[in-house]
Amino acid sequence: MNGVHDMGGMHGMGPIVAEKDEPVFHSRWEARVYALHRAMGPWRKWNIDTGRHEIELLPAADYLRMSYYEKWFARFVTLLVKTGTVTRAEIESSKPQPGSPKLTPALTPDRVPAVALNRNLPSRDDPSIKPRFQVGQVVRARNINPTGHTRLPRYARGRVGRIDRDHGVHIFPDTNAHGLGEKRQHVYSVKFAARELWGDAASPRDSIYIDMWDDYLELA
């Protein structure tokens, strides 16, 4: 979808400030939010693409105001309610509703090390799924404006590049985010000349590499 989250190529967002010796978490609550997300994984209530789309649905003012883990927490609460895991009243009161069933946790303490270190990603090697494009081919990013989740950035749509490498087969986020199936397909690193994306003001020596799924591309 087109929204404020798709900031690539936009002006006015200020400089990117690199924090020296940046810690993994700036506050303990951030670590707890991350842990809550990992603990919910074994419930299989949603997937990574569903979660990404939920952040995209944040109002623009909230998205720009919130820190990284504030967005994570807002997404977490919304998805808990949407999936029927808890009610909004339970979130606000921090107490279960009378008569609500007590569920056995999907993640037990003894499974934490295995779950924390394993993302359960399917193999990228799948000979049954053939690539639509080959390394070296000139391609164009499709000019699409989906209302659902997509990993195709606005600034690349309609632009021409060249297949630089094939990353193998991966889940297609545009369908996976909405429960429409994994639709596994090849993902390529596509090389774009900076001037193709940004115009003559860009350096002629620069290039940008963007990972793109089969369904994002067409022959130029």
pLDDT above 90 covers what percent of the chain? Answer: 79
Query: What are the strands, taking DSSP E only, across 6-155?
Result: 138-141
Stated pTM of the model: 0.90
Our measurement of the distance from residue 108's CA atom to the centroid of its chain's CA atoms, rounded to an integer in Å, reads 27
Strand partners, 169: 186
Q: What is the pLDDT of residues 151-191, one digit of tens each?
A: 999 999 999 999 999 999 999 999 999 999 999 999 999 99
**pLDDT of 163:** 98
Q: List, in order, residues 6 or more apart from 62 with CB less than 8 Å away.
A: 74
Rounded Cα distance, 48 and 57, in Å: 15
Six token digits for residue 8? 């690539």
Domain map (residue ranges) of the chain: 28-117, 138-219
Comparing CA positions, the residue from 209, 165, 208 lying closest to residue 187 is 165
The class that CATH gives domain 138-219 is: mainly beta
Token reading at 181: 């199936």
CATH second-level architecture of 28-117? Orthogonal Bundle (1.10)
Residue-wise pLDDT tens digits, 108-165:
888 887 776 666 778 899 999 999 999 999 999 999 999 999 999 999 999 999 999 9
